[in-house]
């Protein structure tokens, strides 16, 4: 397929903000695409060349892209940078320079979607000496052949800045509409495969092909998530009686996979961290008595000397670590806290009731403190006992409780009536940074004030600005570190203010939530303070406006 045909779809999507119109545009486009092309075209519509579950990254910075544009168009770096500051969008800048280019090279040819897709994917596979030059050559080849509008979206795809407003939900609904499949069937299959490209190919074949997809050890999948409740009564309303209460741990979610030959550890973001936590493999082999399984767990750090449990922040650095793994594993060891099992000895058991799955877990896990244990639990229909268990968990240093429906199956994704979490009121919110301001004086080289936002359906709405809790030096979140990770995400600059692509998540504490007309959320945080980075979380787990409203009402004594 000609890449220009896909570009016309991008342009149509860019012109509307209406979700139904976007769904109509995409569904009409993909319904007649061949199965051979459908998978990668879905990825391109999502603005990527890899599915969410793929760990590969394109790794092309805006600064390197400036060099590519200069090489491809014959313009100087200073000219391109000047236009970038004006437009705030390197895609549009490239389009304009390609349009003005006086002479096209002799190697010009019509671009196909496959060629664009393959060239961009190769960027992630290059390594070693000469990598930068090879990346520049691959992208330059595309841009020298591209029509102006094609150049705009090639650059945006590479930089992960599509700006066409296509959310995961829009892609899901488009696939359902194009192939006349119920939305819930499409979403269910996606939660197993975590790849809408593959889901679309199956949907094109028919519903029965979606229904054949099940859990498979060794393949990352979505985890089941909990909604926030304020009190035990609210949890009983959602979950029924009795319910199972478990202590809420301050670690990170880990799906332990054993396919009968190999063991894999996946985070909630589907990152393979087997190598980063390889000291756990012998423990898992020795103390889990089963041939194959997928076990849901939380890895919690502890001090090797005092044996006291540590906050997530202390072990977060281990997730991305590639070097000196053995050294850091001794400094920050972790304990496996298992709480669910969804695949057992060659069979999916996620549809079995929780109480039965827990029995399987209790049968096969040989518990040993600081190696692997089962989460502390209480099954009750008594409000007083549940509240006592909650108070006890807080006193012991846990975050609160996770409350579960005893008869519920395991559903990947966020579902009401399956699992809730109850924390201390005014617990921190996980918010995404959407903007910032350059500092003054000794902080002039750093970003020093940050706009933070909560999630409202498919967009983020600001809820305040924060500049406290950040260090100039020493441990913790520093101005230098935040500036470093935010600079590549800048999409627009206005004087000292910048707008950044929503990607960096921070945990924010505060004294109170107040109503405010200043911010788009309608709320503001009083005395906000950054506690730590929470980039192990995906964007769909940024605290929602519903959570903000619930805490606000609780403060006011409302239900």
Strand-pair category, 419-423 with 227-229: parallel
Q: Could you give the CA distance from residue 457 to residue 454 in angstroms, rounded to a whole number?
A: 10
φ/ψ of 497, rounded to 5, equals -95, 140
Is the bond into 79 cis (omega within 30 degrees of 0)? no
Q: Could you give the CA distance from residue 520 to residue 456 in angstroms, rounded to a whole number?
A: 10
φ/ψ of 218, rounded to 5, equals 100, -15
Q: Could you give the CA distance from residue 178 to residue 181 in angstroms, rounded to a whole number?
A: 8
**404 catalytic residue (yes or no):** no
Q: Could you give the CA distance from residue 197 to residue 177 in angstroms, rounded to a whole number?
A: 15
Number of H helices, E strands in the chain: 21, 22
Chain position carrying tokens 């985070």: 267
| Paired strand residues for 429 | 508
Q: Could you give the CA distance from residue 452 to residue 442 in angstroms, rounded to a whole number?
A: 23
Is the bond into 242 cis (omega within 30 degrees of 0)? yes
Q: Could you give the CA distance from residue 342 to residue 314 in angstroms, rounded to a whole number?
A: 29
Tokens of 277: 């936590």
Based on C-alpha coordinates, what's the Rg of the chain?
25
Catalytic residue among 198, 248, 421, 537: 248
Any idea which residues carry the catalytic annotation?
248
């Amino acid at each position: 397929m000609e890449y220009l045909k896909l570009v016309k779809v991008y342009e149509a999507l860019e012109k509307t903000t209406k979700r139904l119109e976007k769904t109509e545009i995409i569904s009409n486009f993909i319904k007649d695409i061949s199965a051979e092309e459908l998978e990668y075209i879905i990825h391109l519509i999502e603005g990527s060349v890899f599915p969410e579950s793929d760990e590969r990254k394109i790794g092309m910075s805006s600064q390197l892209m400036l060099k590519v544009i200069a090489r491809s168009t014959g313009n100087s770096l200073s000219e391109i940078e000047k236009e970038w500051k004006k437009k705030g969008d390197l895609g549009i800048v490239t389009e304009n320079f390609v349009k003005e280019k006086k002479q096209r090279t002799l190697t010009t040819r019509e671009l196909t979607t496959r060629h664009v897709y393959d060239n961009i994917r190769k960027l992630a596979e290059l390594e070693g000496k000469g990598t930068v030059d090879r990346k520049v050559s691959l992208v330059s080849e595309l841009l020298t052949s591209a029509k102006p509008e094609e150049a705009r979206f090639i650059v945006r795809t590479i930089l992960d800045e599509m700006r066409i407003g296509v959310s995961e939900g829009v892609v899901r609904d488009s696939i359902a509409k194009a192939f006349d499949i119920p939305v819930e069937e499409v979403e269910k299959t996606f939660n197993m495969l975590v790849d809408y490209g593959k889901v679309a190919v199956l949907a094109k074949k028919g519903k029965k092909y979606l229904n054949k997809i099940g859990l498979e050890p060794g393949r990352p999948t979505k985890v089941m998530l909990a909604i926030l409740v304020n009190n035990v009564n609210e949890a009983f309303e959602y979950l029924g009686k009795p319910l199972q209460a478990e202590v809420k741990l301050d670690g990170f979610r880990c799906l332990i996979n054993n396919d009968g030959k190999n063991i894999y550890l996946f985070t909630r973001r589907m990152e393979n961290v087997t190598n980063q936590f390889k000291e756990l493999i012998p423990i898992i082999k020795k103390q889990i008595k089963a041939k194959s399984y997928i076990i849901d767990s939380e890895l919690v750090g502890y001090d090797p000397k005092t044996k006291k449990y540590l906050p997530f922040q202390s072990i977060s650095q281990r997730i991305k670590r590639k070097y000196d793994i053995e050294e850091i594993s001794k400094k920050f060891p972790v304990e496996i806290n298992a709480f669910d099992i969804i695949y057992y000895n060659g069979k999916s058991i996620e549809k079995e009731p929780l109480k039965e799955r827990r029995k399987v877990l209790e049968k096969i896990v040989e518990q040993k403190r600081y190696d692997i244990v089962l989460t502390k639990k209480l099954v009750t229909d008594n409000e007083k006992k549940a509240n006592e268990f909650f108070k006890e968990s807080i006193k012991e240093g846990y975050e609160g409780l996770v409350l579960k429906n005893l008869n519920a199956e395991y559903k990947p994704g966020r579902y009401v009536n399956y699992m809730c979490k109850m924390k201390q009121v005014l617990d921190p919110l996980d918010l995404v940074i959407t903007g910032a301001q350059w500092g003054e004086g000794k902080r002039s080289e750093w970003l020093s004030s940050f706009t933070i936002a909560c999630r409202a359906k498919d967009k983020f709405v600001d809820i305040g600005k924060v500049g406290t809790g950040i260090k100039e030096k020493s441990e913790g979140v520093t101005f230098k570190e935040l500036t470093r990770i935010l600079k590549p995400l800048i999409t627009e600059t206005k004087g000292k203010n910048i707008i950044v692509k929503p990607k960096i998540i921070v945990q924010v504490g505060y004294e109170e939530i107040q109503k405010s007309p200043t911010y788009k959320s309608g709320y503001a945080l009083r005395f906000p303070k950054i506690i730590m980075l929470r980039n192990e979380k995906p964007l769909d787990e940024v605290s929602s406006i519903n959570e903000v409203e619930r805490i606000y009402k609780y403060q006011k004594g409302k239900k």
